[in-house]
Amino acid sequence: MPRPRTALLVPGALLAALLPLSAAAHAAGDPPPVPVDRFEGEVPFAAQPADGIFTWGGDSDDPPTLRLAERADAPEGAEVLTGTYDISGYGGFTHDFAADQPAHDWSAHQGIRFWWEGHDNGRKIGFEIKDGGANGEASELWTTSFTDDFTGWKQIHIPFADFTYRTDYQPVGGIDHVLGLTRMWGYAVTLPTGLKGEFAMDDVEFYGKADQALHASVSTDATVYPVTGGGTARVRVTLATTGAKPVDDPVTVTYATGGGTATAGRDYTPVSGTLTFPAGTPSGTTRTIEVPTRRDGAAEPAETIPLKLTADGAKAPAEVPQVVIDAHGLPYLNPKLPVKKRVADLLSRMSLAEKAGQMTQAERAGLTTPGDIASYGLGSLLSGGGSTPTPNTAEGWAQMIDGFQLQARATRFQIPLIYGVDAVHGHNNLYGATVMPHNIGIGATRDPGLAERTGAVTAAEVRATGVPWDFAPCLCVSRDERWGRSYESFGEDPALVQSMETVIQGLQGRADGSQLSRDDKVLATAKHFVGDGGTAYGSSTTGTYTIDQGVTTVTRQQLADIHLAPYKTAVERGIGTVMPSYSSLDITGDGKGAMRMHARGDMINGELKGKLGFDGFVISDWNAIDQLPGDYADHVRTAVNAGVDMMMVPYTYKDFSSTLIDEVKAGRVPEARIDDAVSRILTRKFELGLFEHPYADTSGAAAIGSPAHRAVARQAAAESQVLLKNSGGLLPLDKREKVYVAGSNADDIGNQSGGWTLTWQGASGGTVPGTTILQGMREAGGNVTYSKDASAPTAGYDVGVVVVGETPYAEGVGDVGNGHSLSLTAADQAAVDKVCGAMKCVVLIVSGRPQLIGDRLGEIDSLVASWLPGTEGEGVADVLYGTRPFTGQLPVTWPKSESQLPINVGDASYDPQFPYGWGLTTRAAVPHGGAGTLRSLAARAATAQRRGDGRTGRELVDQARLLVQRKVGQRMTAAVAKPFADADHLLLTGHYGQALEKLMQAYRAA
C-alpha cells in the first residue's frame, strides 16, 4: 500500500481520505523505505530467542497490555499495534529480532520512522535501538525520545544520528560505545510514567540515505572542567568511528569559547580555532584544546566558560563542554568554620530556584540529560532497586557518581550532590557485595553488637563506591506477617527493634555525626515514619496490594508505645534522615481520619521534629507525593508544609522544582519552610565532608566482599537460625552421617538472599556470588547427596535435610493475597513428605516470614527458621554441623494458621504454633533444674534489675528460658505461650525480675 512521503498531523478520518493520494516516492538518491513492523500479524508476541514483541516493567502492574487492532484510519495496512498502560515505575515493549538468526544491517539508512497516535499529553516517549552483542537482550542500548504534543496520527522521524548511548542502564558491559548499525537487534518503546493512557503505533520502517556522521563522532573526555582561577583547562577531543576504522573523509572540528558567566579577557583568555582529523586518521585519535583562566583575588561564586564545538564529517558532542572557574574565598568554603556558620552563609547567597533544587532528588535513570544536574541545581540523585551502572562494579559505581558530581561543579556554589541507595542488607545493588541476612534474621540473633557490625560492613562497602547515603534501616514494627515488607522489620516487638538500632552507629558512627566524613561511614535513614508495620489487611488501595501502603488505625497510646518508640531511639542515636511511609495513619479520636503520612504535618513537624527533636532532614519515599489528594501543586504544597524537606521525584524533578517555586512565590509555602529544609540538607552535606571531598574515595573498595566482611555476614547468618523443634537431639548433625538434601531453596542463592538483591524484587537462581546452604554443607565436610525434588532414591541415608520456603519479592508485590501465601508450595510439601517419610529429617524454612507448617510438624524431627540468610550459606551449615550452636530466637510469633493473623506478643488471646522469643539451643551447657531453680534465678534477676546490672539480668533470664523450653518440649499451649512471649518482651525492656515471674508461670503451665 502507498506510504506517505512526509510527516502528517491530521485527524484519523482526514488521514484515511488522504492516504490513497500519497505516493511511495522518496527523496532523490535515497534508497526506498524498508519495513520493519507493519503490525499485520507478521511478527508474533514472543520473547527471546524468537523474533517477537514483548512487554516489560518495574513490577507486575507496569508492563502495558498489547494487541493488534483493525483500524479504518490505520496509516498502513489494516491493523495497528495498540495497548493501554498505567505505569508507576517503568514499562514499555520491545521488538527483538530472532537471536538464532544473523543480526540486521541498518547502516544504509538515515534513520527509523513510525506512525504514532498522539494524545497531546506533553509526555516524553522513549525510543531505543539495540546494537551489537549476542542478542537483543545482551546488546548496547542507544536511546532518544519524542514528545506527545499532538493529537491524531503523526509520522515520527528519528535520524540515527539522534540516538545517544544509554548511560543510566546497559544490560551488559560496554561493547564499543559506538553505534555501528551493522549488527542491530531491534527496538524498544518506553511509555510515560505516572499517567494512565493508551497508545497506537503503526508501520515501523527505515528511511533515507545514511549520513556520513553516523559512522564517525567526536567527543570530549568530560563535559565539565573545573579549574582554580589562573589554571588552564585541557579539553581532550577524541575521534571515534564505527568498527574502529580510520575515517574515509576529513573531519573538521571548529571551537570557540563564549557565553557563560565568566567574562572574556578578565576571567579567561578566549580561544577559538579548528582541529582537523585528515582522511585516514585512526579511530581513537585525540587532540587537545587549552583554555587559560586568570587569577582573581576577589571572593566569588563559580563562573562558567562554554566551549562550543561544531563538527563537519562527524557527529558533534551531545553536550557543550564547560570550563568552570571554581568558587573561592567565600565563608561557606572554609572548613575551619563551624557547620552552622557555613550553612547560614551559603543559604544567604542562594536563590529560590537554587533552594528548590536542593530539595529535589531524581533517579539517575530519570535524568533527561546529565546537564540537568546543573540546570536545575539538583541536590540529590538516587539509584532505585536494580538501577545500576554498567559494569556493575565498585569502579563502575564510583565513576558514575563522580561523573554526576562533576556536573554539579558547573553550578554557582558548586554544592555537591548527595547520592542515595537502598542498601538494606549490605550494598545489595552492587554485584559482589557482602549480602547480609535481612532484618528479620538480624532480629532473631538478639545480638546488638552483631547488628552494629553488619551496619559497619554495609557502610564501608557503600561508601567505597562513592555513595554517602543509605536508605536504611527500616524501623517498622511488623504486626502482620501477610505484609510483603515484614522481612524488612527486626521484629514485632518495639523493644526488639529498639535493641537492634545499634545498626545506626554501625552505619553512621558516633551519634553526634562527627564520624560521618569518614570513608567507611554513611548517612543513615530511619524508615518508614510512622506505623508502616501496622497497616490492616485489606486496607491498601495501591493496585493489587492487600496490606502494604494501607491504613494503620491506632490509639495515640498504641502509636507511642509500638510505632513511635523506635524513632525516639533513632533520634537519640543521631539518625541523619527520616523517610515517611506510603501508608496512612488513623489516630482514634483525633478527628483527622486516615491521612497519608506524607501529609501529616502533626506527625512530621509536630512529633518528629518538634517533640522528638529530630534535627536531620526528611526525605520522601519514591513518588510518594503523587498519592496525596488534589492536583500536583496540592501534592507539593501539602508535603513540603507537612515537613518533608527533600522530595524523591524520580522522573518528575523538573515539575517538582518549578511547582515548588511557584507555590513559594504565591505565598502558599512559606520561605521560612524552604530555608529550614535547605539548612537541614546542607548541614548533612557539610557533616559528610562532601564540600571538601565530593568525589568517591575508593580506598576501601578492595574490602568489598572480602573474607573479613563475609565473616561478619556468616556469623549473622549462623546466629539468625532459630531452632524451633529438635526431637531426639537430631541436630547438630555428625559429619560422618550420610545426608540426603532436597528442597527448592537448598541450592538457590537468589532465594536465600530474597528481595532487594541486585534488583528491587530480587530473583531466583545464581544472581550473586556467595555460598548456598548446600554448598556450605559440602564445604563443611558433610557427606551430602542432593536431589532438589527428592526424586533420587532415599534408601541408605542417616538423615534428610529439606530446605524449602519462599521465592524473592519486595514490598506490596509480596503481600499475601497478591499472588503469595504463607503455605509451602506443592513441590516443597511433596519434598518434605517424601524425605521425612523415609528417614529422620530436618526441615529448614528459608523465608521472609513464618510459613504454615503445623499440619506436617508431627513428621518433622527438627525444624529451623532460616529466614533470608544472604550470601553466606556457610553460616547455616555452621549451626547444622555444630561449629556454632543454635542461639536464635523468634523475632515474630509463628502462627498456627492464617486465620490467627495478626497475632503478636502481648495479645489478650495468644495461642501460636511457637511463641515470640522461642528458640532451642544446641549449646553444650543447657541448664537443668525445676521450680526451685527458677525461684532462685528469679531472686537473683530481681537483684540485678535493682542494681541496673543488665548483663547479669539477661544471662539469668536466658537460663530460665532454656529451662522452661526443656520442660515444654512440643507440648505448646496458650497457657505456656503467652507468659513465655511476655517474658521476652520484659527482658528487652530491662524488667528481669518480672520476666522470671512470667517464665515461672509458663513452667507451671507446661
The C-alpha atoms of residue 370 and residue 127 are separated, in whole angstroms, by 18
**With contact defined as beta carbons under 8 Å apart, do 754 and 854 qualify?**
no
Exposed, middle or buried by CB within 10 Å (0-12, 13-18, 19+), for 689?
Answer: middle
The C-alpha atoms of residue 350 and residue 661 are separated, in whole angstroms, by 13
**With contact defined as beta carbons under 8 Å apart, do 502 and 556 qualify?**
no
Cβ count within 10 A of residue 512: 10
Task: List residues bridging with 92 in a β-sheet.
Answer: 56, 190
For residue 815, what are the CA distances in angstroms to 541, 621, 820?
A: 13, 19, 6
DSSP letters of 554-595? Answer: E-HHHIIIIIIHHHHHHHHTT--EEEE-SSEEEETTSS--SE
DSSP letters of 821-858? Answer: -SBPPHHHHHHHHHHHHHS-EEEEEESSS--B-GGGGG
* Closest-CA residue to 831 (of 863, 802, 865, 800): 802
Task: List residues bridging with 233 in a β-sheet.
Answer: 291
Which sign does the torsion angle of CA 136, 137, 141, 147 carry?
A: positive
The C-alpha atoms of residue 762 and residue 365 are separated, in whole angstroms, by 19
The C-alpha atoms of residue 314 and residue 739 are separated, in whole angstroms, by 66
Task: List residues bridging with 771 in a β-sheet.
Answer: 872
Between β-strands 783-786 and 738-742, what pairing exists: parallel, antiparallel or unpaired?
Answer: parallel
The C-alpha atoms of residue 240 and residue 254 are separated, in whole angstroms, by 17
Between β-strands 79-86 and 196-207, what pairing exists: parallel, antiparallel or unpaired?
Answer: antiparallel
Task: List residues bridging with 712 in a β-sheet.
Answer: none
**With contact defined as beta carbons under 8 Å apart, do 270 and 290 qualify?**
no
Which phi and psi (to 5°) does residue 450 adopt?
-70, -40
Strand order in the sheet with 525-529: 525-529, 577-580, 617-618
**With contact defined as beta carbons under 8 Å apart, do 856 and 832 qualify?**
yes
The set of long-range contacts for 535-540, using a CB threshold of 8 Å and a minimum separation of 24, is 535/480, 535/483, 535/583, 536/480, 537/480, 537/482, 537/816, 537/817, 537/901, 537/902, 540/812, 540/815
The C-alpha atoms of residue 671 and residue 122 are separated, in whole angstroms, by 30
Exposed, middle or buried by CB within 10 Å (0-12, 13-18, 19+), for 448?
Answer: middle
Exposed, middle or buried by CB within 10 Å (0-12, 13-18, 19+), for 416?
Answer: buried
Q: Which three cell numbers stand for residue 28?
A: 532523490
Active site residues: 621, 811
Q: What is the DSSP letter of 748?
A: -
Half-sphere exposure of 204 (CA within 13 A, CB side): 19
The C-alpha atoms of residue 63 and residue 52 are separated, in whole angstroms, by 16
Contacts of 351 (CB under 8 A, 6+ apart): none
The C-alpha atoms of residue 445 and residue 870 are separated, in whole angstroms, by 14
**With contact defined as beta carbons under 8 Å apart, do 182 and 242 qualify?**
yes
Map grid coordinates 548499525 to a residue: 181
**With contact defined as beta carbons under 8 Å apart, do 548 and 811 qualify?**
yes
